[in-house]
Amino acid sequence: MTSAPYLPAARADGSATGPGAAPADRPYLLRCPVCHESYQDDGLRLDCAGTHRPGLLSTEYARDFAPGPGSGPFRYACWLPNAARALPGGAIGATYRAERLGRELGLNELWVAFSGHWPERGAALDTGSFKELETQAVLARLPQRPPVLVVASAGNTAAAFLRACSRQRVDCVLVVPDEALPALAVAGERADCVRLVTVAGDYTDAIELADAIAARPGFQAEGGTRNVARRDGLGTALLAAAETIGRLPDHYVQAVGSGAGAIAAHQAARRLLAAGFPAAHRPDAVSGGLPRLTLCQNAPFAPMVRAWQDGLAEPVIGSGPEVRAAVAAVHARELTTRKPPYAVVGGVRESLVESGGELRAVDNAEAAAAGALFAATEGNDIEPAAAVALAGLRQAVAAGRIRPEETVLLHVTGGGRARRAAAHPPAAVHPDLRIPPGLGAEAAAYLVTGA
Ligand SMILES: [Zn+2]
């Protein structure tokens, strides 16, 4: 354990850009989907100030769909918050037609959006996951003198923030479970502005500590799905794929933990459709030309699938040892979010209903088989969550839900990590602070912040 407490010196005064400090060069509004209140963006706002049921703020752009030069996410600066601060370059994945995999599945037109590392295909996300798309957009959205960003992660998000914040010199605290440390090795060198804290426990313990830290003066929760930049950043994967395909796909398939990526894809598709972009080839009466979402979770922990199938208002997720055991048993740990934005206005359920979509659960054996199939037919490794998505696609085809002639976009949300590790052997990652078991979140937050 290194010396603690600490507070990054640059922000020891707790300075932040407060209300009314929104720069005039942000040509978009934040809109509440519940009360329809709008806000100038200060780069930090996560929620509507109104007292009503929860809803996800969304960005409202005056600009048309006008991709810029280059191939990174800021090619879509037209639909990203605070394009004025768009970072140079930036990395994005690649979309290609997967003919061999399509033949294996019985699909004539299968496209893969590969959000990972695959240089030969042009996919340049070096931490191997789509989380890099959201981090780049989140950092671009920040005001000029941001508070210290606090991020809880099960692994991939922390790796993406570690890399991006180190490169952009943005102060942040990353909180991850001990077991997630190896996943950070892909992120490369960590700058001093990035503090790393591990907790003995799982993702939920990391979230509790991050919440307690973010409540301190001078710190700010990154916000997860509530952060409009996260969703719009993730949405660039759909925008890029649609540009490559030339129209919206009939089906969009992705694995979901929080579902932020799926909400983002749906929103991006809605925007494209409204902007006159060619609709899905075989629109049905429900979706009206929007891609139908097929979202996949990993049994035995698939709370949104159960909520969807049983018509529940909210997923029912306990907190006892049986839940921890279920979480520990899943193949794709990234998908074990316990508070997914399912029922909130603008959330997962609404996206499914609007698109005529569905949720599917796949078990560990199906996921492992799907991962092996991808490696054998396409020649690259994919993350467990992406294998869950491919297994769900297989199920949907077998069930006749997705037909052979339809255009399918499979979002491989992570991959190429083993391939990259072979070329760049990852180095061990050491946290600044390890929170021992049994220490409450408040006490641990004091250790981290000294306040
Ligand atoms: Zn509101």
State the sign of the Cα–Cα–Cα–Cα dihedral 304, 101, 232, 152: positive
Q: What is the CATH number of the domain that holds 370?
A: 3.40.50.1100
Round to whole Å and give the CA distance between 275 and 273: 5
Separation of CA 264 and ligand 1 centre (Å):
20
Can you give the pLDDT at residue 16? 35
Which residue do the tokens 């941001």 mark? 146
Separation of CA 2 and ligand 1 centre (Å):
43
Instruction: Retrieve residue 1's tokens.
Output: 């354990």
Separation of CA 359 and ligand 1 centre (Å):
28
Separation of CA 242 and ligand 1 centre (Å):
31
How far out from the chain centre does Cα 277 lie?
24
Query: Residue 144: pLDDT band by 50, 70, 90 thresholds?
Result: confident
| Chain segment 90-126, per-residue pLDDT in tens | 899 999 999 999 999 999 999 999 999 999 999 999 8
DSSP for 100-119 reads HHHHHHT-SEEEEEE-SEEG
Can you give the pLDDT at residue 425? 84
| Chain segment 316-368, per-residue pLDDT in tens | 888 788 888 888 889 898 898 888 999 999 999 999 999 999 999 999 999 99
Round to whole Å and give the CA distance between 363 and 151: 29
Whether 331 maps to a domain, the answer reads: yes
Can you give the pLDDT at residue 23? 46
Round to whole Å and give the CA distance between 209 and 197: 10
Whether 249 maps to a domain, the answer reads: yes
Whether 450 maps to a domain, the answer reads: no
Number of domains in the chain: 1
Whether 408 maps to a domain, the answer reads: yes
Can you give the pLDDT at residue 426? 81
Query: Residue 83: pLDDT band by 50, 70, 90 thresholds?
Result: low
Q: What is the pTM of this model?
A: 0.92
Whether 330 maps to a domain, the answer reads: yes
Separation of CA 225 and ligand 1 centre (Å):
16
Whether 407 maps to a domain, the answer reads: yes
Residue 217's contacts (CB-CB under 8 Å, 6 or more residues apart) are 14, 451
Query: Residue 86: pLDDT band by 50, 70, 90 thresholds?
Result: low
Separation of CA 382 and ligand 1 centre (Å):
39
Instruction: Retrieve residue 299's tokens.
Output: 């049994």
Separation of CA 315 and ligand 1 centre (Å):
23
Round to whole Å and give the CA distance between 207 and 151: 8
Nearest C-alpha neighbor of 166 from the set 175, 176, 158 = 158
Q: Which domain holds residue 280?
A: 94-128+228-421
Whether 393 maps to a domain, the answer reads: yes
Whether 281 maps to a domain, the answer reads: yes
